[in-house]
Structure 1
Amino acid sequence: MDGGRSCEDATLVSVIIPTRDRADMVVRAVASALAQTHAVLEVIVVDDGSTDDTPAALAAIDDPRLRVLRHAPGRGVSAARNRGLATARGEYLALLDSDDEWLPEKTTRQLACMRQRNLAISQTQEVWMRGGRRVNPGKAQGKPDGFFFEQALGRCLVSPSTVMFTREFWEELGGFDESLPACEDYDLWLRTLIRHPVGLLDELLAVRHGGRPDQLSAIYVGQDLFRIRSMAGLLGRSDLTPWHRDCIKKELRRKALCYARGCLKRDKPEEAVRVLAVAEKAAGGKLF
């Protein structure tokens, strides 16, 4: 893969960055996108109703490749990403969370990898930072390459800030599910893996910053509820193979039971019964 190819490559890449009340961080994210060695790109920031200095901070960036869209407050990250992707003009589309950043060669390297392997979607490896210090992800967070639908049911194995995909892929898959306040990426990657492999460029080309209270993983503690909703929705699809359906039912049963036990420990028996009933109905028969 020729890292210098970007100087002659006229392929437009659209970078979508949703944000809300992260003035300093979104400026860092935008700067990392604009500093890519593949310079033919547009950066679309969708501001989900920020009340801090985000609008002013973005307005101070003098680069014609940057577009800022103001969004109705509180509609969430799925709606923000969907709006940005709907207005994007690029042949390739890439996601970047406003608290993360890219290394300069990411776009160049990822474009070359996708062309070489004829991929519709891919991700890269990333450096993990927590509280300003680098941490090593565990084996459970390892990223597979290819078709890994069954593994992806257990946990989200695709990192939004490292993802790039073709316009044709996005038009086929459709948008993020805006009814999910969290785990919207888990849902999209499962829908992806039914039809497409997710390629892995095994290079550290992004930086993931975590450990803050404003992240969705901290705001929504019981995230298995949203994964249960996602799997229940998947079982209504007509294009699942018997293998896909069996995998979903197995994980749906496991997650629903785990969630219900947690409800009982928190003295919420009605919620436990409700979630078990939702899972069983989606499975179309006895699940427990």
Structure 2
Amino acid sequence: MASPLVSVIIPTFNRADWLAESIGSVLGQTYPHIELIVVDDGSTDHTRDVVQAFGAALTYMHGINRGVSAARNRGVAASQGTLVAFLDSDDVWQPGKVAAQVALFQQQPGVEVCYTDEIWIRHGVRVNPKQIHQKHTGWLFEPSLPRCMISPSSIMLRRALWNRLGGFDERLPACEDYDLWLRMTVRVPVTLIPEPLIVKRGGHADQLSRSTPLLNQYRITALDKLLRTALTMPQRRAVLSMLIRKCSIVAQGAAKRQHTDRAAVYSAKAQQYRCHLAGVGGTLVDMA
């Protein structure tokens, strides 16, 4: 694979104040064969002006607000590269990020997807990720069940794998990355490049994981979808164990806030999953 074209998709919505730095970090990569597509998901700020200042260095797509999943999927559909990468519009890349990932694909033709370590910035200050956020390499399905292990801004995958996965689920307003990575990691191993080659900037009010309520609800949806796919028996038991835990967390939180109907619904779901787990000969698996 000699100098493959890498398609980079930046979805954005009302992040004009962050976007220029993100775009600049892509255009400043040491690897030259990059196609950059910015998908504006219906922004009402001055995002268009920011993007157009870069001229012909990128492709700009604008549409109605349909969510980040639709924006990413639209960008990939319009792209041409044999390798696909994503960058959230509040994150930035280190200059050697793409080169390192392309080199890995060239050196290891059997690898279908890789990701990198990351630097965390919160409210403008660098912070150390907790132990539970430590990155791993190889088969990541079960480690990915409790939480999203892979940052979209860090991943690069072959287009053939993307096509098999079918893209992000546009029905999910959040946790769409958690959903896709689970569908991916149950199929293929993921190779980690241990260098911190992305900078994740968080803590701001419009960060999706902060501004979207009920995240566990969408994780439960993603996990439940997996039960209708081909899983090994240990994988099925692990998914059921995680569903029980997440439904119990939602039920307890709803009860604490005196949302009795919601608490009852998720308590019943947890019990249904307990029955399912018992039916496949499993016991609750401890996953932090």
Cα shift at 1:281 = 5.4
Label 1:9 to 1:65 Cα distance change in 2 as closer, same or farther (>3 A): farther
- Which of 184, 188, 205 lines up with 1:192 in the alignment? 184
Q: Deviations over 1:52-95 (max 9, x none)?
A: 11001111113x3400101212x110110111011110010001
Q: Is the 8 A contact 1:126 1:206 kept in 2?
A: yes
- Which of 69, 92, 96 lines up with 2:87 in the alignment? 96
Q: Which aligned pairs between 1:108-147 and structure 2 lie closer than 5 A?
A: 108-117=99-108, 118-147=110-139
2:186 counterpart SS class: helix
Q: Which aligned pairs between 1:140-219 and structure 2 lie closer than 5 A?
A: 140-219=132-211
Instruction: Supply the distance in 2 between the matched residues of 1:203 and 1:36 (Cα, whole angstroms).
Output: 16
Matched pairs, number: 278
2:80 counterpart SS class: coil
- Which of 248, 259, 264 lines up with 1:257 in the alignment? 248
The equivalent of 1:37 in structure 2 is: 30
In the alignment, residue 264 of structure 1 is paired with which amino acid? A
Cα shift at 1:107 = 0.5
Instruction: Supply the distance in 1 between the matched residues of 2:182 and 2:212 (Cα, whole angstroms).
Output: 20
In the alignment, residue 170 of structure 1 is paired with which amino acid? W
Q: Deviations over 1:125-155 (max 9, x none)?
A: 1111111111111111101101021111011
Q: Is the 8 A contact 1:235 1:283 kept in 2?
A: no
Cα shift at 1:221 = 3.6
Instruction: Supply the distance in 2 between the matched residues of 1:181 and 1:235 (Cα, whole angstroms).
Output: 21
Instruction: Supply the distance in 2 between the matched residues of 1:165 and 1:286 (Cα, whole angstroms).
Output: 33
The equivalent of 1:224 in structure 2 is: 216
Q: Is the 8 A contact 2:87 2:152 kept in 1?
A: yes
Cα shift at 1:161 = 0.4
Q: Report whether the alignment pairs 1:49 with 2:38.
A: no
Q: Is the 8 A contact 1:95 1:164 kept in 2?
A: yes
1:154 counterpart SS class: coil
Cα shift at 1:218 = 1.1
Q: Which aligned pairs between 1:268-279 and structure 2 lie closer than 5 A?
A: 268-278=259-269
Label 1:278 to 1:180 Cα distance change in 2 as closer, same or farther (>3 A): farther
Instruction: Supply the distance in 1 between the matched residues of 2:195 and 2:12 (Cα, whole angstroms).
Output: 26
The equivalent of 1:3 in structure 2 is: none
Cα shift at 1:279 = 5.2
Cα shift at 1:24 = 2.4
User: CA RMSD of the aligned region, Å?
Assistant: 1.8
Q: Any stretches of 5+ residues in structure 1 without a counterpart?
A: 1-7
Which stretch of the first structure deviates more once superposed, 110-119 or 32-41? 110-119
Q: Percent identity?
A: 44
Instruction: Give the TM-score normalised by structure 1.
Output: 0.92
Instruction: Supply the distance in 2 between the matched residues of 1:123 and 1:103 (Cα, whole angstroms).
Output: 13
- Which of 219, 225, 234 lines up with 2:226 in the alignment? 234
Q: Is the 8 A contact 1:41 1:65 kept in 2?
A: no
In the alignment, residue 113 of structure 1 is paired with which amino acid? L
1:165 counterpart SS class: strand
Q: Any stretches of 5+ residues in structure 2 without a counterpart?
A: 279-283
Instruction: Supply the distance in 2 between the matched residues of 1:70 and 1:280 (Cα, whole angstroms).
Output: 45
1:195 counterpart SS class: coil
Instruction: Supply the distance in 2 between the matched residues of 1:36 and 1:126 (Cα, whole angstroms).
Output: 16
Instruction: Give the TM-score normalised by structure 2.
Output: 0.92
Q: Is the 8 A contact 2:240 2:276 kept in 1?
A: no
The equivalent of 2:257 in structure 1 is: 266
Q: Report whether the alignment pairs 1:105 with 2:96.
A: yes
1:37 counterpart SS class: coil
Instruction: Supply the distance in 1 between the matched residues of 2:137 and 2:45 (Cα, whole angstroms).
Output: 39
Cα shift at 1:280 = 5.4
Instruction: Supply the distance in 2 between the matched residues of 1:144 and 1:127 (Cα, whole angstroms).
Output: 16
